[in-house]
A and B are shown apart, each in its own frame.
Chain A
Amino acid sequence: MKIHPAYEMLRPGKKFPNVWCPGCGHGIVQGAIIRAVERLGINRDEVAMVSGIGCSSRMPVYVDFNSLHTAHGRALPFATGVKLHNPKLHVIVITGDGDALAIGGNHFIHAARRNMELTVILMNNNIYGMTGGQYSPTTPIGKKASTAPYGCAERDFDACALAVAAGAVFAARGTVYNAVELDKMIEKALTKKGFALVEALSPCPTLYGRLNKEGSAVKMLQTQKANTINLKAAEKLTPQELEGKVVTGVFHDGEAQPYTEVYQQIINKAQGR
């Protein structure tokens, strides 16, 4: 039997089965990340995967990289320390919508502002999965959650717009339905020198789906396909036509001097070089 080359990037044995529910989108994102690392030929010893807390943030246990599972919302400060101390490491940050945008929201904007060289994979399932379905900063207004039994009263964040406004060099939104496109986005993000965000829309059938009567995992993927529209196609539509759609694609692909390079110049200056 031929084994996929990415297979050896997993930690078999004790670490599986994983905690994710059947039909959860997170496994597809994990696949996309290891395929991207494999295609880019990055040495596993040089990858550090840093996560916060939540369903998605369990990923570091399953992949055979240097892995650091931190506290809720704090993946970015830890990752900042890892990268700044050892700039040779490719630091991949695994985070969720609650982790990155609620408790870790301040870290998110500041890591982007500094242009820390981090590849941030934000798995957005529009809900708090691990704690049982409470609303998150990306739960759409009116949608149900265990703490929003009458529908969410808050407006939701656009993580990509937020990252770009804060100074990220790359921001893209993909879906687990469009896994091939997601692979490419993550691969591109990994090559960027600076703060690169890939927001992966990843359905949570167990909680968001059930609370909002979205049907089975397969049905949720079909809904994802129907409700998302590519940036290029979206540009041709009026705001009315875009109502209720989620736009995917690469929103920003720019350049800015990365933090560790700027800091190296500081070191040179301090040392009179």
Chain B
Amino acid sequence: MSKQIKLWQGNEACAEGAIYAGCDFFGGYPITPSTEVAEILAALLPKHGGKFIQMEDEIAGIGAILGAAAAGAKSMTSTSGPGFSLMMELLGYGCMAEIPCVIVNVQRAGPSTGLPTKGAQADVMQTRWGTHGDHPTIALCPSSIEESFKLTVKAFNLAEKFRMPVILLLDEFIGHMREKMEVPKPGELEIYNHPRPKVDPKEYQHYGDGSSVGGPYAAMGSGYRFNITGLTHDKHGFPTSRLDEIQWKMDRLRDKIDRHLAELTEVEEEFLDDAEIVIFSYGAAARSSQQAVRQARAKGIKVGLLRPTTIWPFPDRIVTDVLKKCRTMLVAEISQGQLVYEVERCNKSNTKVVPVLRYDGEMITPAQILKAVEEAQK
């Protein structure tokens, strides 16, 4: 088969990536700048025998995908800041009930209605802490069109494996940017489908196989009758107020992520070996940072780039290590500095941490970052 080269938008690559991953259900509510994801899936899903439904609001959108996933679908919704806020309660439900699904948030500038057609990277804390209660989060941040495709596939894989909602945190810049990409051939990227149970239905425990990740679990209607609830529940999924069972459930939610940090954490590094100054940057901002790094290198400045594609769980250990080795770390992001605090938290070596920020709805430029690099060099 010859190479398939496409000129896609990030949103388009995300929709196509979902189909590649085997997504067969989309429920959502349109909101700028995420609408292309829904529009493209409205066309693609029925072609592949999947279902698309435009619900009455974002809450209904995530509710529908959680219901479909409980019935065995690989499901997804897409939204943007305000819609993502509306989804928070059921995002927490999905984590508690351990229902796999993918939620795409194409970030726009806020707060509130903000700048609906302009980009930002200011939902990163909402992604981590928007719901109530304690639970870990998985969020992936692509920096290119090709990565939008690949990380969508990865988001589905992680959702299936860790049995929880996984967030694909795009931003408007990547969502609407067009770029050439080579479409992976069928079979080229790994597709993970969680195992279905083999035990006798009488023996079945919806949460109880003891595996440290999701474990095999059944779909509704497959002959295993089980209960799902947002209440704290036992291994069978029935509500419990027994202290040991509450402890077990809460530890399970935390541990399935904490025990797989190495597997979950993914970063890209450029020129880190001898870097005295390191730029920490992700998503769209990392594009400008990369450019700035190259320009600075041409000027003989020893600068490198640390670019996480998994933003949650935060790559603590890697950031700590890189901080130890460099003199200054610049945190370049399109917000008032949401990740600066995270980097500071990892700073065990008194390394200088300098925010490089832009938050007027426009893209952070290589020039702005280069200027910050030159200042740090002084």
Question: Are B228 and A68 in contact, CB atoms less than 8 angstroms apart?
Answer: yes
* Contact status of A267 and B49, CB under 8 A, knowing A74-B59, A107-B56: yes
Contact of A86 with B220 in the complex, beta carbons under 8 Å: yes
Choose from A15, A60, A85, A266 the contact partner of B68 (Cβ within 8 Å): A85
Provide the bound-state CA to CA distance between A263 and B68, in Å.
Answer: 15
Closest residue of chain A to B70 (Cβ to Cβ) is A68
Complex: A134 Cα to B25 Cα, angstroms: 38
Q: Which residues of B contact A44 (CB under 8 A)?
A: 225
Give the CA-CA distance A45 to B218 in the complex, in Å: 12
Q: How far is it, in angstroms, between the C-alpha of A76 and the C-alpha of B60 when the chains are bound? A: 8
Chain A nearest CB: distance from B242 CB in Å?
Answer: 10
B90 within 8 A of A: yes
A211 located at the interface, meaning its Cβ lies under 8 Å from any Cβ of chain B in the complex: no
Which residues of B have CB within 8 Å of A107? 56, 60, 63
Q: Which residues of A contact B65 (CB under 8 A)?
A: 81
Name the residue in B65, B71, B89 with the highest tally of chain A Cβ atoms < 10 Å from its Cβ: B71
Q: Considering the complex, which residues of chain A in the window 81-95 have a beta carbon less than 8 Å from any beta carbon of chain B?
A: 81-82, 84-86, 88-89
Task: Say whether B64 contacts A89, CB under 8 Å.
Answer: no
Residues of chain B lying within 8 A (CB to CB) of residue A80: 27, 53, 55, 60, 63-64, 67
With A64-B225, A82-B220, A86-B72 as known contacts, state yes or no: A77 contacts B46, CB within 8 Å.
no
Q: How far is the CA of A72 from the CA of B356 in the complex (A)?
A: 42
Q: Chain A residues near B71 (CB, 8 Å)?
A: 48, 81-82, 85-86, 89
Q: Is A61's CB under 8 angstroms from B227's CB?
A: yes
Are the CB atoms of B220 and A68 closer together than 8 Å?
Answer: yes
Say whether B46 contacts A266, CB under 8 Å.
Answer: yes
What residues of A have a CB within 8 angstroms of the CB of B90 in the complex? 71, 74
A42 to B290, CA, bound (A): 61
What is the CB-to-nearest-CB distance from B70 to chain A, in angstroms, rounded to a whole number? 6
Q: Decide if A66 touches B225 in the complex (CB within 8 Å).
A: yes
Taking CB atoms, residues of chain A closer than 8 Å to B27 are: 77, 80-81
Interface of B is mostly: mixed
Q: Does B66 lie at the interface of the complex (its beta carbon under 8 Å from any beta carbon of A)?
A: yes
Alpha-carbon distance A76/B27, docked complex (angstroms): 13
- CB distance A263 to B238 under 8 Å? no
Question: Could you tell me the distance between the alpha carbons of A61 and B240 in the complex, rounded to whole angstroms?
Answer: 11
Over the window 229-266 of chain A, the binary record of Cβ atoms lying under 8 Å from chain B Cβ atoms (1 yes, 0 no) is: 00000000000000000000000000000000001001
Question: Which residues of the other chain, B, contact A65 by a CB distance below 8 angstroms?
Answer: 225
Taking CB atoms, residues of chain B closer than 8 Å to A89 are 71, 220-221
Q: Does B51 contact A (CB under 8 A)?
A: yes
Q: Is A70 interfacial (CB 8 A cutoff)? A: yes
Instruction: Establish whether residues A60 and B227, one from each chain, have CB atoms under 8 Å apart when the complex forms.
Output: yes
- The reply to whether the CB of B230 lies closer than 8 angstroms to some CB of chain A is yes
Q: In the complex the two chains form, is B46's CB within 8 Å of A267's CB?
A: yes
Check A81 against B49 for contact (C-beta < 8 Å): no
In the bound complex, CA of A82 to CA of B64 (Å):
7
Q: List B residues 28-58 near A (Cβ within 8 Å).
A: 43, 46-47, 49, 51, 53, 55-57
Is there an interface contact between B73 and A81, defined as CB atoms closer than 8 Å? yes
Q: A residues 34-81 with Cβ under 8 Å of B?
A: 44-46, 48, 50, 60-61, 64-71, 74, 76-81
Sort chain B's interface into a size bin.
Answer: 35 or more
Least CB distance, A107 to chain B, in whole angstroms: 6
Q: Which residues of B contact A266 (CB under 8 A)?
A: 46
Whether A110 lies near B64 (C-beta < 8 A) is: no
> Bound complex: CA of A21 vs CA of B313, how far in Å?
44
* B67→A69 contact, CB < 8 A: no
Contacts of A88 in B (CB 8 A): 221
Partner of A74, one of B24, B43, B51, B63: B63
Within 8 A of A (CB), among B169-223: 219-223
Nearest CB of B to A219, in Å: 32
Instruction: Check B47 against A70 for contact (C-beta < 8 Å).
Output: no
Whether the pair A270, B46 counts as a contact (CB closer than 8 A) is yes
Interface flag for B93 (CB, 8 Å)? yes
CA distance A76 to B56 in the complex (A): 11
Given the interface pairs A77-B60, A266-B46, A267-B49, the reply to whether A82 lies near B70 with Cβ below 8 Å is yes
Any chain A CB within 8 A of the CB of B69? yes
A60 / chain B contacts, CB cutoff of 8 Å: 227, 229
Smallest CB–CB gap between B131 and chain A, Å?
Answer: 11
CB distance from B179 to the nearest CB of A (A): 28
Q: How far is the CA of A64 from the CA of B238 in the complex (A)?
A: 12
* Cross-chain contact of B93 among A70, A84, A271 (Cβ < 8 A): A70
> A4 on the interface (CB 8 Å rule)?
no
A227 within 8 A of B: no
Q: Is the CB of B55 within 8 A of A48?
A: no
Contact across chains for B227 and A69 when beta carbons are under 8 A apart: yes
| B250 touches A (CB below 8 Å) | no
**B309 beta carbon closer than 8 Å to chain A:** no
Q: Which residue of B lies closest to A57 (CB)?
A: B229
Q: Which of B46, B49, B93, B222 has the most CB of A within 10 A?
A: B46
Task: Give 14 CB contacts A-B under 8 Å.
Answer: A45-B225, A60-B229, A61-B227, A61-B239, A69-B228, A71-B230, A74-B60, A77-B27, A77-B63, A78-B64, A82-B220, A269-B46, A270-B43, A270-B46
Give the interface of B toward A (CB within 8 A).
24-25, 27, 43, 46-47, 49, 51, 53, 55-57, 59-73, 75, 89-90, 93, 219-223, 225-231, 238-239
